Amino acid sequence: MLAEVEKMETINLPLQTSIWETSVNLKKFYEDNGFIEIRRTYMPLLKVSDAKKVLSNTSNNVAIKSLKEVMSNDLLVESLTHNVKRNYENTHLVNPVATMGIDEWKDLIFADDLVLSGSYVYLDNDEKQILAYSFLHDSEKESTLELGWCGTAGSENIELIPQLVYQQIRYAYKHDIQFILGEFDTTDKYGMEVLNYLLFAPCPTWITYQKK
């Protein structure tokens, strides 16, 4: 099949596929045929009860607001949307995302599964600018919530993201949620910051390959 696809002269896009790292034979096959690894994705699970030490060190920070608290501020919502769009596009430079207008991005960001009370933003002293954000979503799995997009307004302030995630763990604990599921790409420095801070259970990685 790969040989037939490569014969198609009309295809101008790179070939791309993903496999689990445990698929040793497939991994060797793709690498032997010129595919290059462009990204690894970690999808680990955090047991909320194992995060009690984190909870005890988490205080109520007045600079941190839930999305539910800021949704009525159109300027903050607009700023958040632009930040999410920019950061997501920057983490997918090797396989660019589809071109969408800002209203389409709003619909994508504020989807029905977004937990507004458990998604947080970090504001500046005047509460006029978003410095960092981290989203929380409902999950199809029982007693589980899922971490969503996280990021900052610039290249700095990355250390603020774990503080937001600690609040999300606190939220999950208060609502009797047993697990938090993450999804982190190696191309996403913000997500990797979260992965490095929390004691997620070990898991196999999802490897994405590309051949130009």
> Per residue in 165-205, pLDDT tens?
999 999 999 999 999 999 999 999 999 989 988 878 889 89
Q: Where are the beta strands (DSSP E) in the chain?
A: 15-20, 36-42, 45-47, 64-66, 120-123, 130-138, 144-152, 179-181, 184-185, 205-211
For the domain made up of 41-204, the CATH class stated in words is alpha beta
pLDDT tops 90 at residue 100: no
The model carries a pTM of: 0.87
pLDDT tops 60 at residue 127: yes
pLDDT tops 90 at residue 112: yes
Q: What is the distance between the alpha carbons of residues 97 and 58, in angstroms, rounded to a whole number?
A: 36
Inter-CA distances, 14 with 46, 88, 95, 206, Å: 35, 20, 9, 19
Enumerate the domain spans of the chain.
41-204
pLDDT tops 70 at residue 57: no
